[in-house]
Structures are given as C-alpha cells and as structure tokens.
Amino acid sequence: MHNLLSLNTPALLFPAISLLLLAYTNRFLGLAGIIRNLYTDYQQDHNPKILQQIGNLRTRIMLIKWMQFLGVASLFLCTLAMFQIYTGWPQTAEISFGASLLLMIASLAVSLWELVRSSDALNILLSDLEAESEQAKS
C-alpha cells in the first residue's frame, strides 16, 4: 500500500494554525479590554445595562478558551503526525493527522459560534443607541 501522507502535508497546516491561534489570542485580548473597561465603568456608575452584558461576555470567554484549546490540540496532533512520519509510523501518522484536522474543524466551528455571539452583543448595543436617539428626538 502506498503512503499518501508525506511530511509536507502536516507541515502545510502549521502556518494556518499559528495564524489562527494569533487571531484567537487577539480576540481574547480585545474581550479582556472590554471587560476591564466595563468593570471600571460599573465601579463609577452602577448601570444595570453593564450587568446585562456579563452573561454574554462569560460565554464568549468560554468559547474563546475552547477555540484556543482545540487549536492547540490540533497543532499538537499535527506535530505528532509529523514525528510519526519521520520515525516511520505512517498509519498512526494518518490517524493523528486526521484527528488534527477534525480538531481544527471543531475549533473553527466554535469560532463561528463566538462570532455570532459577538455580533448579537453588538446588535443589542446598537438597538439601545437607536432607542436612546429616538427618545432624544421626541
């Protein structure tokens, strides 16, 4: 049986995973900044709208954590597949690489879920601004 998986195949995934993890980290850092600002705002003005955002932010933090976990696990299995190819274990390398791809798919799916949650939160804020604008006009 001819081995279809070469060392180059998993190596192609490396740059994509690295960029994806960087994007996930940037999303986390952006969210952390929002949370810190909301905390400061709430300490100064106990606005109940700030408290309403906590549930969404907690969910988004959990989703980003899972995005990162699945991405790192994908990178780990991709690296393991490369090691297995290098050491002459092509069948186990194919399993490891396949699992790596499945974890990457799961990471991307969670990323989409987080993106929807983020968009929902922004739409709520925009609707609040529109309602305030309408009240100011009347």
Tens of pLDDT, residue by residue over 14-33, are 778 778 888 888 888 888 88
Instruction: Show the DSSP H helices in the chain as ranges.
Output: 8-44, 48-52, 54-86, 90-137
In sequence order, the 6+-apart residues with CB closer than 8 A to the CB of 27 are 64, 67, 114
Of residues 80 and 42, more confidence is placed in: 80
Render pLDDT for 40-64 as a digit per residue (tens, 0 to 9): 888 888 777 777 777 788 888 999 9
d(CA 98, CA 31): 32
Query: How far from 74 is each of 29, 58, 61, 111, CA to CA, in Å?
Result: 22, 24, 20, 14
pTM equals 0.75
Residue 31: alpha-carbon gap to chain centroid: 11
The upper half-sphere exposure of residue 137, i.e. CA atoms within 13 Å in the direction of its Cβ, equals: 6
Are the C-beta atoms of 108 and 101 separated by less than 8 Å?
Answer: no
